């Protein structure tokens, strides 16, 4: 029996070997695949997704993957036109990875293999609470951001808190050779901040008309006068506030708060106390002797400075100044922010100028960092007047995708139909306009956006715009706003989305406008706005009087050797009123 079983086993092995040899001889050469849509190496996004590859198979086929993260969803098929579908997972690992896909066709000797590669992913750093907000932000930015195409190269972690996520987009675009350089203010080679912004229901007290609580002082500066005096100088007082009602004016010098003398070590805390109000301040007026080199303090007494809820209007002052020894009158406008809610007051101010037959206009934009594009167009119309009706004031150029689709936006003098809406005050402003061919504008590094739009827009119409002060901010871009509610909170997104050009097509002022008379008044003791005691105002009034550009006596003069003050500590960031500015279109609410 054992011998019989052994012989049977030998015969079976021989037969099996014969069959195998016969099968090998019947396999066809090649792989049986034609017109394959895949490449030898195929790159897939970090976020993953579905890959579809078409091919033609000579007979039935099967497919497999070497990695679980790259799943074959169509694992087999029949002869003819075929589809291979792969589902690729998001890469959350810190390293790149690859998978080999193998397709075998029945009856052919050689299977086909190709590689799917995925770059290193991001390990999610957040808790994902604001994922829906971030998805909305990313979608809007990819559509509207002026440099939107660069976002496709940015790895996004949707799990982050919304503010970190937003800045990760801006920083990711900036990492690509600073293609979005014009989104932000620079000092030398350093970007100080981005213009684009995302805000939530955190307090939004950042525009004219918003409510604040405090004394109503807009700006203070800690300074030394000569060798004997140290204190806090009042730079700007908001009208209608406790500070204004207490009689404080620009140029008042505070030497003590609640009996505590101002020093270089306590000026920050005392400055904040003055901003907050409900304090007793020791106030002095300052005059100068010895040709403006020696300060003299005259006590004004102790002043009870109250605290109250107030709003910051767009117009802090409008007045008419009669020019001595001439028949000229100058309208002076201290304009702090472009806000459509104050356009009727702006029109009324120009009515007062017209009623007093002003011949010239001094527009003080030193503290104005912008606002509504519509309001800028109203102001441009009030200055230019009927002679320029219908002429282009500003042209908005959008990103490449929108431009290729034929999208652009225009704002014209006296024309109520605009890119964003029909706005009646623009047309009505013609009836109240001064119709000037020349104006004088006081400027600083803070002068930005909608303010610079006035300068550029009027120059595009060949209206002479004479600048006095320091170079402007250089914001030649603007923003379209959108608002949407998530988690019972409003989120306001304002990405930079357009360039601002004038009628001549000029928009190259990202380094700011250089003043015709350049003088840094930050080291010159401030005098009351709209008077000869205010250094920039004085130069404008002299220019109007003589029709000649003022010649500064010396380089030392521009540094403040006359009526000199030495600031030793900034109270700028402590201000309760900090306008966001910009050149913005009215935000649209999304549901």
User: 221, 231 in Cβ contact below 8 A?
Assistant: no
Q: What is the pLDDT of residue 71?
A: 97
Pairwise CA distance, residues 196 & 582, whole Å = 9
CATH number of 33-118: 2.60.40.10
d(CA 465, CA 507): 16
| CA nearest to 534, candidates 548, 523, 524 | 524
Domain spans, the chain: 33-118, 134-199, 211-310, 312-553+581-589
Q: What is the pTM of this model?
A: 0.79
Give dist(CA 449, CA 501) in Å, integer. Answer: 12
Q: Give the residue among 99, 164, 97 at the shortest CA–CA distance from 126.
A: 164
Write out the CATH class of domain 211-310.
mainly beta
Q: What is the mean pLDDT of each run of 10 residues along the chain (591 residues)?
A: 42 42 69 96 90 96 97 96 95 86 96 94 78 96 97 91 95 96 91 92 50 94 93 97 98 98 96 98 95 92 96 96 94 97 98 98 97 97 98 98 95 96 97 98 96 99 98 95 89 96 97 96 93 94 96 53 80 81 80 72
CA distances from 465 to 99, 474, 491 (A): 65, 16, 38
pLDDT at position 563, please? Answer: 83
- Residue 209: the pLDDT is 62
Q: Please tell me the distance from the alpha carbon of residue 88 to that of residue 336, in angstroms, as a whole number.
A: 54
* Tokens at 141, concatenated: 């930015």
Its CATH architecture, for the domain 312-553+581-589, is Alpha-Beta Complex (3.90)
């Amino acid at each position: 029996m054992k011998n019989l079983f052994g012989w049977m086993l030998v015969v079976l092995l021989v037969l099996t070997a014969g069959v195998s040899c016969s099968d090998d001889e019947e396999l066809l050469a090649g792989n049986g695949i034609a017109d394959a849509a895949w490449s030898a190496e195929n790159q897939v996004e970090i976020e993953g997704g579905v890959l579809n590859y078409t091919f033609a198979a000579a007979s039935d086929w099967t497919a497999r993957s070497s990695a679980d993260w790259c799943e074959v969803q169509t694992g087999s098929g029949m002869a003819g036109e075929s589809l291979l579908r792969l589902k690729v997972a998001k890469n959350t690992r810190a390293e790149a990875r690859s998978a080999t896909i193998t397709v075998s066709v029945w009856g052919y000797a050689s299977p086909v293999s190709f590689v799917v590669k995925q770059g290193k992913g991001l390990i999610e750093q957040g808790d994902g609470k604001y994922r829906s907000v971030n998805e909305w932000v990313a979608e809007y930015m990819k559509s509207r951001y002026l440099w939107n195409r660069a976002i496709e190269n940015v790895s996004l972690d949707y799990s982050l808190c919304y503010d970190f996520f937003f800045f990760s987009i801006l920083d990711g675009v900036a990492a690509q050779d600073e293609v979005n350089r014009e989104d932000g203010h620079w000092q030398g080679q350093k970007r100080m901040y981005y213009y684009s912004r995302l805000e939530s229901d955190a307090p939004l007290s950042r525009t004219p008309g918003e409510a604040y609580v405090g004394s109503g002082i807009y700006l203070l500066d800690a300074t030394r006068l000569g060798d004997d005096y140290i204190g806090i100088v009042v730079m700007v007082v908001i009208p209608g506030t406790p500070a204004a009602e207490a009689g404080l004016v620009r140029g008042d010098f505070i030497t003590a708060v609640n009996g505590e003398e101002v020093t270089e070590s306590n000026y920050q805390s005392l400055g904040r106390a003055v901003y907050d109000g409900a304090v007793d301040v020791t106030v002095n007026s300052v005059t100068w002797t010895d040709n403006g080199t020696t300060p003299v303090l005259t006590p004004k007494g102790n002043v009870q400075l109250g605290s109250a809820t107030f709003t910051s209007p767009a117009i802090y002052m409008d007045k008419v100044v009669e020019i001595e020894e001439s028949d000229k009158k100058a309208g002076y406008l201290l304009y702090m922010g472009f806000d459509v809610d104050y356009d009727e007051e702006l029109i009324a101010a120009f009515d007062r100028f017209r009623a007093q037959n002003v011949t010239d206009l001094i527009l003080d934009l030193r503290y104005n960092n912008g606002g509504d594009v519509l309001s800028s167009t109203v102001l441009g119309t009030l200055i230019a007047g009927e002679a320029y009706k219908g002429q282009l004031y500003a042209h908005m150029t959008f990103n490449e995708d929108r431009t290729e689709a034929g999208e652009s936006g225009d704002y014209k003098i006296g024309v109520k139909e605009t890119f964003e809406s029909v706005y009646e005050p623009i047309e009505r402003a013609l009836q109240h306009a001064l119709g000037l061919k020349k104006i004088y504008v006081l400027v600083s590094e803070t002068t930005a956006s909608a303010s610079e739009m006035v300068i550029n827009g009027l120059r595009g119409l060949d209206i002479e715009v004479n600048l006095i002060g320091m170079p402007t901010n250089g914001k030649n871009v603007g923003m379209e706003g959108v608002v949407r509610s998530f988690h019972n909170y409003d989120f306001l997104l304002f990405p930079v989305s357009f360039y601002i050009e004038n009628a001549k097509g000029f928009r190259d002022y990202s380094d700011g406008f250089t003043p015709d008379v350049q003088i840094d008044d930050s080291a010159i003791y401030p005098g009351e706005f709209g008077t000869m005691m205010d250094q920039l105002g004085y130069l404008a009034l002299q220019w109007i009087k003589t029709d000649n550009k003022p010649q500064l006596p010396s380089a030392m003069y521009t540094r403040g050797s006359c009526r000199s003050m030495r600031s030793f500590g900034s109270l700028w960031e402590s201000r309760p009123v900090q306008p966001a500015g910009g050149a913005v279109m009215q935000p649209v609410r999304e549901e």
